[in-house]
Chain A
Amino acid sequence: MPDRYLQVVEPSDNVATALRELEAGETVTVGVGDEERTVEVVDDVEFGHKIAIEEIADGDTIVKYGKSIGNATEDIPAGTWVHVHNVESNYGRGDLADESEAATISE
């Protein structure tokens, strides 16, 4: 039986949302579409946070709702907590804009 407290929205997602607190070391079964996948939890994970349900390489797309929610900034093994420390957004990147076009704002 897949753990109902680990929710995967679309079968193409590579992360699951924890609807309970997860402890490092526990083994969980995740429902992915019609299939099941077993993952060993690497980190303690708070309610509402995500874990990888497959190996994700540095630079790969993080997929939730069947869509990109950003890119991995390091290798993320299955079962690892996925959050702001290892994922970056691709939107509104003023920090990547051409410096000549970016407004100068004194810090």
Chain B
Amino acid sequence: MSEFLGYEREDGSVGIRNHTVIVSTAPYANDTVERAADIVEDAIPITHPLGRCQTKPDVFQTYRTLLGYATHPNTYGAVVVAHAGEIVDGDELAADVAETGRPSASINIHEEKGVMNALDATVDAAQEMAIEASAQRRVPADMSKLTFGINCATSDTTSGLCQHKATAGAVWRLIDDHGGRGCFAETPEFFGGENELSERAVNDEVRQEILDRVEHWDERLQATGYDVRGAQPTPDNMDGGLTTIEEKSLGALVKSGDGPIQDIVDYGAKIPDGSGMYIMDTPGHGAESVTGIGAGGAHFMVISTGQGHTLSNAVMPTIKITGNPNSAERVPEETDVDVSEALVGDEDFDWATDQLWDEIEDVVNGKMTMSEALGESQFAIHRIGPST
């Protein structure tokens, strides 16, 4: 298959889903957003504790992340709900959404004279968009349009030995055979493998940038005065046999394969349109890294897990793969693809890659993932500094 069936957007992107998103710009709009999303079929709430009393770098990062979801390839249109005048401006966000040709609406709780009127207006706007979205047909699109997000979650020692190999196989199949792109993240999980990773950069500038960002994370962690061992590996990683951050990193990097790295982009920034593999600079915190990759425009995410994980994203469907036979049995609803036969059975990693690739083909054409069927989703924007 060199084509898939997707939803065309005016900005040239093609979605694999057709969501109406309702975006909160500040914590004080979260309840209105959640309530409206409960009422309107297939509306996705985007809520968070940020958007006010933040310093400039955090404001940019929050805005960029919210805009990324409001203009995601899988987003049909966006209703932006603001509380009052905030540093993340609702009208500005809605205007930036409209620039991509997507329907957009801006609701302000103060201007509406309270949450009841604001809820009414939000539901009205979202309902209209959801009906319009449902009338749009899927059309054939080239697979080179697709961006493959990669993350690991509750890693254990099977991750680097098995499921990450299948993930790498599938993402490079999209890049090499179909001209698509991939994106992986979690910079603190490069510790111990950063030199080899940086050698894969397409040029010296990108190579140095990878090393600089790893060093920056090490400095940020050390500046807390605490040992990273207090936070990484996580207790679930250690249960699964991972001993140090270096071991976790070396395993984690297996999922990126060994091909060239085109660039490293900021948290939540748009993943470039070119074909190839990109890095997003995010923490290892799964909800934050996945939220960032989603904001970057990845169409779907493969979560390569050892012990099983609920981690998922509402706008960017998440496909869970494990190579740990115990996990596939213990948390079946967190397992879209079980490739443990490649680790402890008679199958090989080409088979494992095929299993994942088949699932990807189905999901990009509309098949629900386990987490979509359950309505599981976590959203967490990474913050750089303190609130003010």
Contact = CB atoms under 8 A, between A and B. Distances in A.
Chains A and B belong together in one complex: yes
Interface stretch (A25-33, A35-43, A44-52): A44-52
Given A48-B324, A69-B247, A84-B238, A89 B228 contact: yes
Contacts of A20: 344
Nearest to A92: B228
Contacts of B232: 92
A86 B22 CA distance: 50
B229 A89 contact: yes
A14 interface: no
Nearest to A64: B247
A70 B241 contact: no
Interface in A49-107: 49-50, 62, 64-65, 67-70, 82-84, 87-97, 101-105
Contacts of A96: 227
B344 A5 contact: yes
Interface stretch (B154-162, B202-210, B264-272, B273-281): B154-162
Contacts, number: 116
Given A90-B246, A94-B227, A17 B192 contact: no
Contacts of A87: 243-244
Interface stretch (B144-152, B218-226, B356-364): B218-226
B188 interface: yes
Contacts of B87: none
B302 interface: no
A102 B150 CA distance: 34
B268 to A, nearest CB: 23
A70 B161 contact: no
A82 to B, nearest CB: 7
B245 interface: yes
Q: Which size class do A's interface residues fall under?
A: 35 or more
Given A70-B244, A84-B243, A92 B227 contact: yes
Contacts of A18: 241
Report which residue of B191, B241, B306, B344 has the largest number of chain A beta carbons within 10 angstroms of its beta carbon.
B241
Contact of A92 (B161, B188, B243, B251): B188
B224 A94 contact: yes
B228 A93 contact: yes
A17 B238 contact: no
Interface string B97-118: 0000000000000000000000
Nearest to B324: A48
Contacts of A50: 157, 241, 243
Contact of B228 (A17, A47, A84, A91): A91
B218 A92 contact: yes
B179 interface: no
Contact of B225 (A17, A90, A105): A105
B193 interface: yes
Nearest to B344: A19
A92 B187 CA distance: 13
Interface of A: 5, 7, 9, 17-20, 46-50, 62, 64-65, 67-70, 82-84, 87-97, 101-105
Given A17-B161, A103-B224, 13 more contacts: A17-B157, A48-B306, A49-B157, A62-B244, A69-B246, A83-B243, A84-B243, A87-B243, A88-B229, A91-B192, A92-B222, A93-B222, A97-B222
7 tightest A-B CB contacts, nearest first: A92-B228, A102-B225, A48-B241, A89-B244, A69-B247, A92-B221, A49-B241
